[in-house]
Amino acid sequence: MATGVRYRFVPRGTVLRVELRADDRAAPIDLVVDGQVAARREVPSGESFVAFDLPEGSSAELWLPQFGTVEVRSLLVDDLAPQELEFPERRWIAYGSSLTQCKSAAGPSETWPAILSRRCGLDLECIGLAGECHLDPAIADYIHDAEPDFVTLCIGINVYEQASFSARSFAPAVRAFIERVARSRAQTLVIGPVASPRFEDQLNRVGMSLDMMREHVHSASQDVFQRYSNVRYLDGRYLLSLSDDHLFLDGVHPTAEGHRVIAERMIDRFPEGELGLTPLVRR
């Protein structure tokens, strides 16, 4: 299901009304004005209208649920179509698993990719494939052809859980995926698995551990870097380590606060000018 989807517009008027249809799993919907979360509304199942009072501001974004199925039928400000705004020029594609989709975030504008994109002025396209992050060549081709400015590839946890590659097949698959993306010349950050209190010391069905996967992902990133200097590697344990046990919901997925921490650590790890991350606001 889609995540990171939003509508950007000029907040002129008093009331924003959204007509939508949703299933009973839908996450909330967020209104962000001038980069700050102005309001959050729960989404009823079935057909409904969700209304927001519009504060003054120069720009607004309506962030749709990061989980559940939602169909937007109309979006009106004081019964008129709002004036659309363009998105930031720099485009970021975030590829990963449910840890990138961020079901457990407090709202769609507070997933770690959403926080990072808003703080750094990036146009986010989030490919958070819950349970389906398995290095599919078609995804690498899509990222390459989209010609983004910045790419993050969070690789490993779905492959580990579902044993979709063996130790023999994982290394060449991850190298090929990274290299295909790197050919786009986008600044590419490859992120190995974050810590997992549930799985950290266990071997999966094909005898691979998370540490083995980190080694393979790191080695593949280094190999690709020899040809493409736009590739960098980050050990995911910098973002969430075993000492952050309180930030895990179930030993695998971050809590709402965990997503905020990941975003802050990403910003702290990559200062201005590196990998296209230039925070607009320091907190």
CATH number of the domain encompassing residue 238: 3.40.50.1110
pLDDT value at residue 1: 63
Q: How far is CA 20 from the centre of its chain?
A: 24
Position 85 in a domain: no
Choose one of 22, 43, 77: the last residue of a domain.
77
Between CA 270 and CA 266, with CA 277 as vertex, the angle to 5 degrees is 45
Please state the domain count of the chain.
Answer: 2
Q: Which tokens is 238 given?
A: 């910098």
Q: Are 186 and 275 in contact (CB under 8 A)?
A: no
Residues 195 and 251 both lie in one domain: yes
Average pLDDT over residues 86-99: 95
Domain span holding position 44? 6-77
pLDDT per residue as tens digits for the range 236-267: 999 999 999 999 999 999 999 999 999 999 99
pLDDT value at residue 276: 63
pLDDT value at residue 277: 66
Q: Which tokens is 191 given?
A: 């992120």
Q: How far is it, in rounded angstroms, from Cα 101 to Cα 160?
A: 18
Nearest CA among 190, 271, 199, 203 for reference residue 230: 190
Residues 241 and 199 both lie in one domain: yes
Torsion angle defined by CA atoms of residues 210, 213, 219 and 224, in that order, rounded to the nearest 10 degrees: -130
pTM value? Answer: 0.94
Flag whether pLDDT at 221 surpasses 70. Answer: yes
Residues 14 and 69 both lie in one domain: yes
Q: Are 49 and 76 in contact (CB under 8 A)?
A: no
Q: How confident is the model at residue 164 (pLDDT cuts 50, 70, 90)?
A: very high
Residues 151 and 68 both lie in one domain: no
